[in-house]
Structure formats: C-alpha cells, structure tokens
Amino acid sequence: MLYWLMSKYQNVRGTRDLLPEVKQIFRQIEETAYKTAKNYSFKEIETPIFEFSDVFHRSLGETSDAVSKETYTFTDRGGDSITLRPEGTAGVVRSFVSEGLAQHLPLKLYYYGPMFRYERPQKGRYRQFYQLGVEVLGLESALADVECLDLAWNILKQIGLENRCVLEINTLGDVESRNSYRQALVEYLTPFKEQLSTDSQTRLEKNPLRILDSKDEGDKKIVAGAPLMENYLNETSKKFFSDVIAGLETLGIPYKINSKLVRGLDYYCHTVFEFTTTELGAQSAILSGGRYDGLVEMLGGPKTPGVGWAAGVDRLADLCSAHIESLRTAQAPIAIIGHGDKALAEAMKITSALRHQNKYCEIFLTGNFKKKLEKANKLGTEKAILIFEQENGSFEYKLKNFKTGEEIAGSITDLLKSI
C-alpha cells in the first residue's frame, strides 16, 4: 500500500522537497545574508508570490525569456491575469509605487523567497527556486552600485565562496548611449537576419541587445564579430562605469570586464554584473544584477534610480554545503541525557529551562542510555549533561566530554556554567 502511494504521488516536475539536511543549509545561507545585509542598513520586505501579470510583462519586457517562455500565468476566478513571480525586483518596485514609499527615499531593501519559471529542469535549475536579493532605490551615485557589490562579495565570503566565483561586470550606458549602440548593432545584425535563431529574429525588431545573450550556437558565432558597447558610450556613461570600477579597486573586490554581458531583462542600464562559477556546469551564474533607473517610471511611479541583485539560493547551497556543514557542527546543541524515567523527567525540566534562556539543546526521549550517547555524538555535540536517578530519589549529574571521554560529577548549576 505504501509503495502504491509513493508511486502515485510524486513531486511536480521541476520542484523538490527541501528535506531537513538541505533546508538547514538554505537556512544558514539566508540567515547569513540577512544579518550581513542588516549590517549595511538594509531592511527586509516581503511581496506576494503572485502579481497582476502586467507587473512582470511591462517591467521584464515581452522579449525576455522570463515573460515569453517561462512565466506561470493564469486567469483567476475573477477574470484577472495573474503571474507567479519569476523574479523579485518587479514586485518590490510595484510595492514601492503602490504603497507610496517615495517619501522615504533612499530605500535599501532585502528580500528572500520562492520564484517560479517554467524552464527545462536540470542540475541547479528548478521551476520553483529560491532567491535572496537587495534593491536600492533613490540613489543615482555609482557608489550605490559599489555598495551593493560589496554586500554581495561580503555574503559570498561569509559562506566560503570567495575563491570559487568571479565577478563579471559590464556597462550598458545611459539611454543615449544604449540607443546609439542599438542602432549600430541592428546595422551589423540585419545582413545575418535569416541566419539568426527564431528568437533572435524577433529580438532584432524589439530588443536587439538581447541577441548578445543568446544561447544558440549559431547566434554566438554571429555575435562574436558584433560592435562593442564600450565604443558607443558617451562621457556620462564612461564616467559612471569608471567610478564603479574605481570603487571595486578601492575595496579590493576582484572583477573581470565582460563586454558581452547584457543580462536577460529589459530594465537594466549602466552597470550589469554576474558572479559566476565553473563548478555548476551550464548554470554558471550564482548572483546577478545591475542598475535599472527607468523601472519605477515604467510601473507608474516617479523618476527614481535603482540598483540591486539577486542570488540563487539553490545554487549557493550546492556550492557551499561542505562549508555550511562545518558551521552546523560548530553550532551543535547541548545534549541533556537522562537515565531512568525520573531522570528523563528531570532532563526535560532542565532542557526546557535552557531553551527558555535561548540555548540550543537536545533531549533524547527514546532508546537506551548507550543509544542516547551515540545520538548525541552524531549531532556533533562536544559535551553532554548526564542525569542518573539515585535510590533515595535524588539525582547525580555528570558532564561528559565526547572528545576525551572524561566524565566530571558536580551540581547541575556548576556543570551548566562550565558549558
């Protein structure tokens, strides 16, 4: 009967259960990111998992893969077109506009949660995936970009990835520079139109810069000879990008300029960047973002500059599981082990008191005394309080050191102090 249930009910393709071991890694990453962002004065925001479809269709652009191929869009019972969020920025900006937050500028916001895209599942890519990200609204200074990148770099270092990824960065320039480059790119690509992929033929009319980001091998060969954005930047755009690069060098953040990096969404301008790794196969980007000075206006708000990034927690977890495991072991619980029914009740009393003092404790309710010791050792705990019931109804307390095997008797007060 159990086998029948297991074979009949399975995960929806592209989703997975985050079992306790994996969820613990996710939790450690998210808590590390949240605490680090808080040190940079970011405040947490949470937006709905679904929005009216126009929020994403207008902000991401109809030619982006996230809209044209990958969104989970449906009509609800009220007849409204609803889309599960494929990314976090558009929802945060919608909230900024609809909640009237312009009076609180500048805003530095942090978020975490599930996102949804109908992609072909593979290692590191799921249809329900998790992102953490930040958005800075109301600051047009290049130093805001630098601060965002410094936060990203700090988080990656905190979870042990500073030597396993590289920052790739580019500029798309301001509107004037982008329009000049767009014209030059169209002139270059038009003679190759029939050789381009179907998607790129569509993008040639609507958003030719997206062709630079094409994964089609034929497109890649054509794009290899395309003009470079850096040759079409005006002085304002050059100055902005040079200020960002100077900031990275001042802070000692390593980087590599990638002139073909454009990012997949339509709202970016000036700085675009990705932290990439070679350890996850085709899914190389683990944290991506950039500047989006026109997005707030696109969603009906006042002219407001913005910059931000998002990191894929699924991919971060795949990369840093060993490092997180070492952190988990370093935060092993205090084990409280009772031998005998009354000793077990006493162990429960002590454990409860410690937990109410915000201590991380574990009590073992089943198994013989030997099994309980084995379980405590498996959790990685170094020391345990042992409680033995005496014939006169009192208790003997001991502190066991799992590294040395030594056991020291004493009062419960003194033993807890030593821990």
Torsional class of 220: left (φ above 0), alpha (ψ -120 to 50), beta (otherwise):
alpha
**Residue 263 counted as an annotated binding residue:** yes
What are the pLDDT digits (tens) for 93-121? 999 999 999 999 999 999 999 999 998 87
How far is the CA of 353 from the CAs of 36, 349, 350, 406, in angstroms?
31, 6, 5, 25
Q: What is the pLDDT of residue 59?
A: 65
pLDDT at 7 over 70: no
pLDDT at 62: 54
Amino acid at 184: A
Burial 360-372 (b: 16+ CB within 10 A, else e): ebbbbeeeeeeeb
In the DSSP assignment, the letter for residue 332 is P
Q: In the predicted model, what is the mean pLDDT of residues 191-195?
A: 89
Sign, CA dihedral 244-145-207-175, equals negative
Residue with tokens 């990008």: 241
CA–CA distance, 122 with 250 (Å, rounded to integer): 38
Work out the average pLDDT over 266-290: 86
- pLDDT at position 395, please? 93
Detail the DSSP E strand segments found in 119-194: 128-137, 166-171
Q: Tell me the one-letter amino acid at 395.
A: F
On the 0-12 / 13-18 / 19+ scale of CB atoms within 10 A, 198 is exposed
Average pLDDT of 295-324?
89
Structure tokens at 57: 């269709």
Which residues make beta-bridge pairs with 257? 169
- Taking residues 241-250, report their average pLDDT: 96
Q: pLDDT value at position 260?
A: 82
Cβ neighbours, 10 Å, residue 184: 17
Each residue of 124-173: pLDDT tens digit? 789 999 999 999 999 999 999 999 999 999 999 999 898 899 999 999 99
Q: Which fold does the domain 12-174+234-325 belong to in CATH?
A: BirA Bifunctional Protein; domain 2 (3.30.930)
What mean pLDDT, rounded, does the chain reach? 88
pLDDT in tens, 403-414: 888 899 999 888
Q: Which fold does the domain 333-418 belong to in CATH?
A: Rossmann fold (3.40.50)
Torsion over CA of 279, 280, 285 and 286, rounded to 10 degrees? -90
pLDDT over 90 for what percent of the chain? 54
Residue 272 in this model has a pLDDT that exceeds 90: yes
44 is in an annotated binding site: no
Q: Where are the alpha helices (DSSP H) in 81-122?
A: 89-98
- Tokens 């307390």 belong to 397
**DSSP state for residue 125 in the 8-state scheme:** B
pTM: 0.83
In the predicted structure, residue 86 carries a pLDDT above the cut 60: yes
Q: Does residue 131 have a known ligand-binding role?
A: yes
pLDDT confidence tier of residue 66, bands split at 50, 70 and 90: low
- pLDDT of residue 418 exceeding 90, the answer is no
Where in the chain are the domains? 12-174+234-325, 333-418
Buried b (16+ CB within 10 A) or exposed e, 70-86: bbebeeeeeeeebbbbb
135 marked among binding-site residues: yes
Confidence of residue 63 (pLDDT cuts 50, 70, 90): very low
Q: What pLDDT, in 10s, does the model give residues 345-399?
A: 999 999 888 888 888 889 988 888 889 988 888 888 888 999 999 888 899 999 9
pLDDT for the residue numbered 134: 98
